Structure 1
Amino acid sequence: MTDAHDASAGTAAFRRVDGIPLHVRVGGRGPVCLLTGGLGSSWFDWDLVVPFLAPYRTVVRFDRPGYGLSAPEPATRPVPTAAGEAHRIRAVLDSLGLHGPCTVAGHSLAAFHVEAFARLHPERTAGLVLLDGSVEPDPRPRPSPALRDLAARAAASAATAAAVPYLLGPTVRRLVARAGTVRREDLAPAPLVRHCYRTGRSLRALLRENTHYLDMAAELAGLRRSTPLPDGLPVTVLAADDGLHGRRTEEWLAAQRELAALLGAEYRSTAPAGHLLMFDRPDAVASAVLDTVR
């Protein structure tokens, strides 16, 4: 295990979880909350949120395999699933000796992961926060998941052999992040972006998660039918409102309200904010986490 410390970011460590070295950050004090990001996200995407939380919460962040500083998953690993990511969250907390209830907050795709965690591990869940979470009203799993996973791995390997991630990865990351904020800038540290997004492992992780997105949505829909959320669990849905009042914005906010109604959650919106609301409104993100307590 390797440890380092940054006063503003907390303690960094590598924890072996299910045989894979994962990069984990822990900082702050008080009840535990865990923050996990969406497709292609790294730990530093939460940097603006952590200072709002650290005086009141022990804040845990981690990179899923292949992202940030975490090692990639071996080729023999099964395809990504919501239940598997819920297990990973629990294993990360266990590796840190944090065995009590935890408030889990997931952004975008990771909203699937934290909701699955709350359903499958109710005794470990103190609160649930979905931050502009992915919404699929009637998802259907796609056929041949193993073949699709193999194709995603092969595409990532071919792109890596052609140096595509090294040449274009940081630039694509910057463009996507800018498109996801109302300020049209990526606030993540440039050296970290270059270090983390030049790698083939990050591209492979992204392609694999994207390939199985609808499968994961369908899996979560099944969990919603079979495994209820714990009674009395505080749930918050925080939606990003870009303030433009266009059709696309209104449809997205309506979908987020419907998600809140489905889960019996408190609905909030924050404006102006793009999909990366942790950049545009870190204060609102922190407030949603702090207010969601059993």
Structure 2
Amino acid sequence: MAAQFVRIDGLPLHVCREGAGPVCVLSGGLGSSWFDWDLVVPLLTPYRTVVRFDRPGYGLSAPSERIPTAAGEAARIRAVLDALGLTGRCTVAGHSLAAFHVEAFARLQPGRTAGLVLLDGSFEPDPAPRPAPALRDLTARTAAGAATALAVPYLLGPAARRLAARENTVCGEDLAPAALVRRCYRTGRALRAALRENTTYLDVAAELAELRRWAPLPDAPVTVLAADDGRDAPRTHRGLARQRALATVLRAEFRTTAPAGHLLMFDRPDSVARAVLDTA
């Protein structure tokens, strides 16, 4: 794995570049780190140049003081690619919350987009921004700082991460390397980043909804891959219906993969890789 740090807007970001061929970018959801793609990457590198990176505060990347936005994350993806000298078109794949980011990239950087893949992506049909974003962001940063001062991330961060992974997979376990989980989730950076992204979730959704009104998607294939855990349960049906609605809005190809929880890169890395390879 060719890992390095690139400086974007003054911040050191942890970036991994592997493989050869047409470029694809993998961007993780809320609270994700680069190693969450470890099972998918070997299935892509024989055919693609794979780029994955940690957003500010996650993994090994430095934290940022800027409030998260869809346009800001789209610009970050472009800046990472530019820093690596990859200035052509690429396929962008986003899991969960990062579906907002990669869709924004496709709309704002149509000349750089060869395909768009949304992996059990976040979707809000009629979002509205919440008031006082700066105050909410300050509250999130203050809460994270207080928790860090009390050593909450150090004591509970890895366990909370493992619990979230078990709840969002069919396999029922966190398949990420335990040593890396401890290294990245014992610090307050990841908690701070997650709280800030969570508190701005509806703001970013509303920003993307506005982008959809004036910035069309490029003439490139779009795929929505939905996780189906195989249960005949209301939560499962609601999730699949939400993904179908997202595919309808984007006029995308709709696929499901089963059995898979929300962390479908753990349960079905083969389906994730196939969706990326087919969308180009």
- Structure 2 equivalent of residue 248 of structure 1: 235
For the residues of structure 1 that align with 2:241 and 2:109, how far apart are their CA atoms?
A: 29
1:47 corresponds, among 24, 27, 38, to 38
**Alpha-carbon deviation of 1:226?**
1.3
2:201 corresponds, among 203, 208, 213, to 213
Partner-residue secondary structure (3-state), 2:13 = strand
- Specify the code of the residue in structure 2 equivalent to 1:22: L
For the residues of structure 1 that align with 2:233 and 2:68, how far apart are their CA atoms?
A: 34
Q: Would you say 1:278 and 2:265 are equivalent positions?
A: yes
- Specify the code of the residue in structure 1 equivalent to 2:21: G
- Structure 2 equivalent of residue 71 of structure 1: 62
For the residues of structure 2 that align with 1:161 and 1:255, how far apart are their CA atoms?
A: 39
2:12 corresponds, among 21, 28, 47, to 21
1:155 corresponds, among 111, 134, 143, to 143
For the residues of structure 2 that align with 1:96 and 1:17, how far apart are their CA atoms?
A: 11
For the residues of structure 2 that align with 1:187 and 1:206, how far apart are their CA atoms?
A: 20
2:26 corresponds, among 18, 27, 35, to 35
1:223 corresponds, among 189, 211, 215, to 211
- Structure 2 equivalent of residue 264 of structure 1: 251
Partner-residue secondary structure (3-state), 2:192 = helix
**Alpha-carbon deviation of 1:261?**
1.1
- Structure 2 equivalent of residue 178 of structure 1: 166
Residue-by-residue CA offset, 1:254-293 (whole Å, 9 max, x unaligned): 1111111110100000000000000000000000000001
For the residues of structure 2 that align with 1:93 and 1:83, how far apart are their CA atoms?
A: 16
Residue-by-residue CA offset, 1:63-88 (whole Å, 9 max, x unaligned): 00000000111x3x3x1100000000
Structure 2: gaps of 5 or more residues: none
- Structure 2 equivalent of residue 4 of structure 1: none
TM-score, normalisation: structure 2:
0.99
- Structure 2 equivalent of residue 238 of structure 1: 225
Partner-residue secondary structure (3-state), 2:266 = helix
Q: Would you say 1:58 and 2:45 are equivalent positions?
A: no
For the residues of structure 2 that align with 1:254 and 1:200, how far apart are their CA atoms?
A: 36
- Structure 2 equivalent of residue 5 of structure 1: none
For the residues of structure 2 that align with 1:35 and 1:49, how far apart are their CA atoms?
A: 10
1:101 corresponds, among 83, 89, 93, to 89
For the residues of structure 2 that align with 1:268 and 1:236, how far apart are their CA atoms?
A: 7
How many correspondences in the alignment? 280
Q: Percent of counterpart pairs with the same letter?
A: 77
For the residues of structure 1 that align with 2:177 and 2:237, how far apart are their CA atoms?
A: 32
For the residues of structure 2 that align with 1:255 and 1:61, how far apart are their CA atoms?
A: 26
For the residues of structure 2 that align with 1:148 and 1:254, how far apart are their CA atoms?
A: 31
For the residues of structure 2 that align with 1:187 and 1:21, how far apart are their CA atoms?
A: 27
- Specify the code of the residue in structure 2 equivalent to 1:238: L
Residue-by-residue CA offset, 1:237-264 (whole Å, 9 max, x unaligned): 0000000021111111111111111101
Structural mapping, 1:138-153, within 5 Å: 138-153=126-141
Partner-residue secondary structure (3-state), 1:134 = coil
Structure 1: 4+ residue segments shifted above 4 A: none
- Specify the code of the residue in structure 2 equivalent to 1:173: R
RMSD: 0.6
TM-score, normalisation: structure 1:
0.94
Residue-by-residue CA offset, 1:110-165 (whole Å, 9 max, x unaligned): 00000000000000000000000001111110000000000000000000000000
Partner-residue secondary structure (3-state), 1:159 = helix
